[in-house]
Structure 1
């Protein structure tokens, strides 16, 4: 039974975390959703009976499914949030602005406060996150509070007011949570050093703090202060489980276009991620059929120009995996480390998944074309003289050095040819000698094919390493056939 275009789209979806987008016949966005497993989640819309009229109505209108692959379920959650707010899909229940994800803020002020917030204000303050839950931020704040005495009051701690004795210490000072900068009991330099340590911990550089905790925990345990040791152990565990900010939402990467490319002998695939205000708002992958012997650089340059024009991008900076020439009007960055490199890697991941999905589509709707493309790719990758339409693979086994056996599996035109499978009992080898066993079965197999006038394979694969490969080649040397065939160990 022939599958519909929509059924094919569902069939080729990956089983990874990501965000899916439903479009109608006019390519208007209907819905954005997140998934731990894209294939299972999307399939559920079309296999279940839905009580909701809204869902039934939406499913009837779906014509096209697009998706963005991410690393984690948390990234999927954050990406869903940013896409909904940016694209306003018709069938989404909009997430309210005051219910957005939490950030940790280091306030721009004298003796900075460190606190949780859901609003980012452009006043020079530093924001770290977003975090997958408020619980994570509060645990981190508790950790910071236990490590460094920081103020929580909202007073204007100017030098004049402190020197005039306008403020007095509060309860936080008396219970050890604050060092009393409001009353001149802590210098601005010492407080700034604490804030620097907080920055390092929030950024994920917590090795020194972890060593300090471990030393403290061992000291308490040695003194049989087990409750205190347990308390320090819990803080250490929180520190070790701390998760740094997401790849898909990053306040330090503002408006930028990200491009990546993956290519084979006949096609190139270019993924485009558009970031606005630190969040991914669009993903699109372009397939380019090679006409001449274009380099990857030339293909990426062409794709960048086309995609930026198509989506009317005005970004002045782009991230790419290798050098491209686009003139002086656009800043080209080739990230090597850090958050920028992660976002380029995410783009490349989506390009690879798109290529795999195209292969799956061809396999479903045009199996013969799929086999031809597969054979051409294998010929190029393995540097063969002809396409490997006939492949044979060998493996040996034994039971603790006894009862040695071997097997040969055969593929013809990209499919298993089970009628040609063969099992072998090793006859000439005693004991666990895998190399000699491989030589025997290869020799027996191709001596038989030559005697019966059967066609020989274009590719022979042996399981193992150089020893097994050498043994197989030795057997072929004995049959004087090695000069007409290429062999590789896999």
Structure 2
């Protein structure tokens, strides 16, 4: 089964069918060509994408019958609905024929995550899940791990948070006394460490436990993580009795202590232990145009915690889905928004994350979706939406978590919207809409003129937009000249934008903040005058008396008098938030650039095969470039991702 847009279909016409742009001329010919493309579509399963005249993807959908589904959009009068608004924007379409509905579902959700269409429910999670790793070794090490897994080591999880992994590691230390030290430390110990003294490690580094006994502890730990707690206790009891019969009372006492520790752990966690070893609990809550899916994880019979997800485009996507009518071929177009959100999450989340055999759900989902998950993962997936006993307790906890997380989000967004409105009113601005109100803020940072960097941070849609932040390395100025640095960064940022603004192809930010008083504002005014831009958008944030927070004054480039908003002003709170974020972003970039120059880390960057991730692992393992240079080839090769050949290359380059 393939989920690639370029996969070969088992039958049917060519996969990709782009239509001519609908904006090619003022006549109806482009629209006619688009309709001709639709009429020529095959009656086969597949995925379709709609694009606007600017090439932005509007919607991604799947269909059992491409011709029937896509035709329905153009054969009906949708009026002023959201789906009607979308159809008027369609300039071209692309389709991909697939072999089955399962392939269509996988491809659809891969494209949604990649293309971020406006009219699809989209879940984004840039954070990978952490795992507990038992590293392959004569004396295996238990460790926290985040990243892609391999077959060399044993991995348990995923866990919803780093805290859950670290708590589990502490539990394994108490009961099974497994080591957590790095191999470089383990191989160079001459006496046991503090963890041995406090009975959190059995001391394999100095031979205080035999390989067989340690391997038995590792096996018990693995069975414990898999939820076989009772089996582990029975095995330990059998070992204890065997040692006692052989009059090996010291070993029997050690196992007795293990049993006691394990019993205490199980007693403390009794509320979490259930009959299900692995399960995911999913609860959805929709309110105020926003949605939250709360995912709780049960692994090895232990409830590990939860994590909340907030999708985007909920209202637009739900409206389009509801208005598709009967042409969704039995896919419940009128399903409640909660079900649509939950199905979107399940389809997108489990494309990249392992799925357990049991899903406990707050709302029922389609059987076809579960079947596709089973085929994709190779694990028989079942779902329960009206659970009993322990499963009901888990679901109620997840539902409460979703409710609280969504309430917190709405409160935060309401507060941010109030701040945006307060700022617009305080400065007497008239943006097209509050949601599109855009602020760009600039700051300059350096250390006595060294490694000067400027930052530009963006506030839009009532929140900071980190993906749009930019840093500028400032060169060719007198060290420490902040005015020259500000002139350079503003010129570089707005020179090309000014040309696009004059052509009507772009727009200026509604507000440009510079961190500084009249001097910085004068520089900004000169740059904007040279570029022919509106001076009214420039505002300087001048520190007040004693540089105290809350006493800042606003300085304008168009000649208006300075404004003092007052320390309790919501508008000033927003300005301070944006200004502080610009300062943080600038200073972290400056420090990184300064450290790079001072440590000459470019020596590692110049080695072929050593990218950012491997370089970070090397520096973290050995504490800096000096430590890397002092390491042997064997030590270098012990770092994850560093082969023997690359270790030798690094050693040669640094010596």
TM-score (norm 1): 0.31
